[in-house]
Amino acid sequence: MKNCNPNDLELQEIYRQIMARAEYCFQDLALLREALTHSSYSAEHTPSPPFNQRLEFLGDTVLQMVLTDYIFKEMPEAQEGILTRTRALLAKEGSTARFALALGLEQALLLGNGENHSGGRKRPSILGDAFEAFLGAVYLDGGLSAAQTVCLKLLPPIEECRKLLGPHENAKGALQEYCQGAGIGKPEYVRIQTTGPVHSPTYEIKVLVQKKELARGCGRNMRQAEQEAAAGALKILLAEQKPAEEASSSPDT
């Protein structure tokens, strides 16, 4: 990757490629240019062109809105803490930097000489800010629906997000992986009963491994109850595994 800014002719082609990847065509290309102009570039030019900090501020809010709507709908069993952790996972610097790279935003960045020569075009903080500014620019140019469409194309499937969470938040996935690794088949979830009023039922689930009941869970929906049951089953299996590992590692007497 070159350590200098693209010229105006090069930028036009890069902008075309970015819009093709995003599947969004800007009506106002000045917004796109501003979104990809770093403060270090603006500081080195007179008059100073607008840079992307204001759009980054706007885009950060747009991103939070899009992510909140996405995970709320895709994770109906999750409580507030898990939803918050999942959103933070998708909004962190490493994630937004990857989104920027997926769109090719780094090719169009306008940076100051110091940033160019010190690898600023690859720096996660600059890339992440550029993506948020880009999203802010899309919002101003085409509205929330356009920004949402662009963002959703870049998000990983919700199951990938679950895998990146800890075992407690993704107990079903962790239990299934454990059972497969141990060669004991897939867990089976069976509804025991449903209690409470029709508008707010509580489900009770049991989880079976090799036809043996290991744990039960309750929740406001089936998924929540299954997660709780899976967490209990995983705890039991891990507790049983530890003595066996200790016995196998003990020296013969």
Q: Are 123 and 198 in contact (CB under 8 A)?
A: no
Measure the CA–CA gap between 5 and 22, rounded to whole angstroms.
Answer: 22
DSSP string, 116-152: HHTTGGG-HHHHHHHHHHHHHHHHHHH-HHHHHHHHH
Tell me if the bond preceding 47 is cis, omega within 30° of 0: yes
Catalytic pick among 60, 169, 226, 228: 60
Starting at the edge strand found earlier in the chain, the sheet holding 202-209 runs: 188-195, 202-209, 212-219
Q: At what angle do helices 144-154 and 53-74 cross, to 10 degrees?
A: 70
Q: How many CB atoms lie within 10 A of CB 123?
A: 17
Catalytic pick among 34, 132, 226, 228: 132
198 backbone dihedrals φ, ψ, rounded to 5°:
-60, -40
Residue 132 known to be catalytic: yes
216 backbone dihedrals φ, ψ, rounded to 5°:
-125, 155
Q: Are 53 and 41 in contact (CB under 8 A)?
A: no
Would you put residue 186 in left (φ > 0), alpha (ψ -120 to 50) or beta?
beta
Which residues are tagged catalytic?
60, 132
